[in-house]
Amino acid sequence: MNISAELILSFLRHLPEEDAIHMLEEAMPYKDRIIAVGLDSSELGNPPAKFKHIFEMARDEGFLAVAHAGEEGP
């Protein structure tokens, strides 16, 4: 049986974008193992717009941007 997996790096919405930037920087040595970036954690009070810059940075590095269902928000 063949099994494959790809990783999505998730930024935590309740933390500042600067923490997400640091996480992306720390993940770069493993870039070949990560396919995409996304958001996780508390949606209320933490809109996606708060992370505009980090998603631009991630796309510039070749990562896909993904989303998950809006459990708490739009």
Active site residues: 71
Question: Is 22 in a helix, a strand, or coil?
Answer: helix
> Using CA of residue 26, residue 65, residue 48, residue 74, what is the dihedral sign?
negative
Q: For residue 36, which of 44, 27, 47 has the smallest C-alpha distance?
A: 27
